[in-house]
Amino acid sequence: MDKLIYLVPAMGIIGLLYTLVKFNWVAKQDAGTDRMKEISTYIAEGAMAFLKAEWKVLGYFVVIVGILLAVMAGANPHSHWSIALAFVLGAVLS
């Protein structure tokens, strides 16, 4: 069990190194013809538009659920408002 303390960070570092190697390999690849580059630009723009719309919807959801959790924590003596804070922070950072 004590070895897990060292194994988990080591696996994280190995994963980051693998990601760096793959990133460098992909960055070195030919982007393709001009038409392929144009299509990839459209795909990137569409992906960013989707992400902006998703963040907007998720933002409303996180705020509403965070407020509900805080209100319910105030009404329940066995709960705490920090649950709402943990939910909001987890949603933002995930």
- Cα separation, 60 vs 56, in Å, equals 7
Mean local confidence (pLDDT), 48-76: 95
DSSP letter at 28 equals H
What average pLDDT does this structure show over 72-80?
89
Question: Is pLDDT of 2 > 90?
Answer: no
pLDDT value, residue 43:
98
**Whether residue 24 has pLDDT greater than 70:** yes
- State mean pLDDT over 48-72: 95
Question: Does position 53 have pLDDT exceeding 80, yes or no?
Answer: yes
Specify the 3-state DSSP secondary structure of 75.
Answer: helix
* Strands annotated E in 1-94: none
